[in-house]
Every structure is written in structure tokens, then in C-alpha cells.
Amino acid sequence: MGIPSTGERSTPILAELAADPSVLLPFILIGFAAQLIDGALGMAYGVISSTLLVGMGVPPKIASAGVHTAEIFTTGISAANHIAHRNVDWRLFLRIVIPGAIGGALGAYVLSNIHADVARPVVLAYLAALGLILLWRGWTHRHVIRPARVVEPLGLVGGFLDAAGGGGWGPVVTSNLMVQGTEPRFTIGTVNTAEFFVTLTISATFLFTIGWEAFSTAIIGLLIGGVLAAPLGAIIAKRVEADKLLVLVGAVLTATSAWGLWRLLA
């Protein structure tokens, strides 16, 4: 569907689009849906997009690099909108953004040189369990708001898994902060805003290690769809009640983690 493989770089992307612009449409729709969920719930853009590309035969490091290239723009717009709607806790932001950038650079370097799939089933099972906890808290109205105690390690691990696994910043950081008791609206806004800087670091590392190999027709489509959806997510995060956000976050986290786990073990 218009994804040039690493061995078929002789057809320029612009020529391909000029011949058949419709090849972009499926990826625009996927990028729109993925970014809408990510902006509203603090997770899923990288997971959905990377899973799609890998499932269609794109090598993991190329899929992750391409998705993060698109995310530079989508996370930037999403961050600006969360800031405009006052969804950001700046103290929390400072505690996660630097460890996240360091972890992201390490993860991108590892993925560019070796396969990092050994721990993936364990991480997915852990995230699915966190999703169930968040579902239960939101459904039973038992979420007590309190400051998070473990923050910096979450940023480091979330950044690493995001780069090495093609997605993981939101699922790891957002869900763990909420389980500790943080306010859903500000957690989502803060994690999304920090994600821009983490993504920028990851993309720069990929560019340094593998070059522009990841830029493809699919990534252009994901980028267009994501940019169109980015302003809407901040509005949803601001207006939806905390318990409902917890239920939605828990449902998305459980579903995406369970799906990824089933694909690995099937």
C-alpha cells in the first residue's frame, strides 16, 4: 500500500504520490485516529502506528524511526494545545522530560544496532495489568488524587521503551503516574508535552544512526492525519471527567497491550 521497502528506494516518494495520491488515505485515517487517542488519553500513537507498519513488513527500526519522525510534528502541536488549555503540571514536566530524553536516546541507539524484543512480553503483560487497575479505579470511583513518588525512573524507562519498541512513552509513564494517584487531566497534558522533547531526541538519534531511510509514503500519511487530530486531544482531556478518563485510559492500555502480547505469543 505504497510503503517502499528498504530495497526499493529507486521510486521517489513524490513521484509515487503524484501517480496515485490515494495511497496516502489509509495512513492519514490511521494517523488521525491514533493521534486523537494519544492526545486525549496520553498514549497509543506510537503503539498503533508502529504495530501497523511492522505488520505490513517494515523492519522494526525503520518503523520506529519513521513514526518518531512524524511524531515530532504531532507531539509539538499536541503540546502547544495542552499548554494553551492549561493541562500541564510544570513541576512534573521537569521531573520526567530529562530522564525521558536520555532513555529515548539509549533506546534508539540499541534498536539501531541490535534487537530489543526479549523483555517485550513481560512489559506488555505488566501494562495490561496496569490497564485493569485503572479500569477498576475509574469504574468504582476509587482514584485518590495524590503526588507521584516515583517519577524520574518512569521517564527513563518510558523513553527507552518508546524508542526500542516503537511506542511506550505514554503507556508506561501515563499509566504508572495515574496508578500512583496523579490527576488524569494534568498527567495526560504533562506527559504529552514532555513527549515532544523525548521524540525530538529519539528522532535525532535515529537520524544520526540510520539516516533518512525511514521517510516513506506511509509516514507522510501518518503525519498528515496526526497533525489534523492533534488540536482535538487537548480539548477532550480538559473536558472529560477524571473517572471517565481513567476508564478510557485503562481500556486502551489493556486492549493494546493484550493485542501486542497475543501477537508475540501466538
202, amino acid identity: I
| Interior angle at CA 73, CA 70 and CA 75, nearest 5 | 100
Residue with cell string 525511514: 214
| DSSP 8-state code for residue 170 | I
Give the closest residue to 68 by CA, choosing from 111, 29, 33: 111
**Each residue's pLDDT tens digit, 140-180:** 777 678 888 999 999 999 898 888 766 678 888 988 898 89
Residue identified by cell 481513567 is: 246
Classify 108 as helix, strand or coil. Answer: helix
What integer pLDDT is reported at residue 87 of this predicted model? 94
- Which residues have C-beta within 8 Å of that of residue 243, sequence separation ≥ 6? 138, 139, 141, 143
Q: Which residues lie closer than 8 Å to 54 by C-beta, 6 or more apart?
A: 60, 63, 166
Cell of 198: 523525548
Instruction: Provide the pLDDT for residue 118.
Output: 59
Question: What is the spatial distance between Cα 169 and Cα 166, in angstroms, rounded to a whole number?
Answer: 9
The single residue listed with the C-alpha cell 527513563 is: 156
The pLDDT assigned to 139 comes to 82
C-alpha–C-alpha distance, residues 112 and 205, integer Å: 9
Profile the chain (266 residues) by mean pLDDT over runs of 10 residues. 44 56 81 86 77 68 77 88 94 95 88 63 74 80 81 92 76 87 91 92 81 70 88 86 80 81 78
pTM metric for this prediction: 0.74
**185 is written with which cell numbers?**
487531566
Dihedral Cα 244, 146, 43, 46, nearest 10 deg: -170
Residue 4 pLDDT: 44
d(CA 143, CA 221): 38
CA atoms of 87 and 81, how far apart (whole Å): 9
For position 261, what pLDDT does the model report? Answer: 80
Tell how far CA 81 is from the center of its chain: 17
Annotated domain spans of the chain? 22-265
Q: Using one digit for the tens of pLDDT, what is the confidence trace for 231-266? A: 888 888 888 887 787 788 888 878 877 887 887 777
Determine the number of helices (DSSP H) and then strands (DSSP E) in the chain: 12, 0
Could you tell me which of 49, 30, 33 has the C-alpha nearest to residue 169? 49
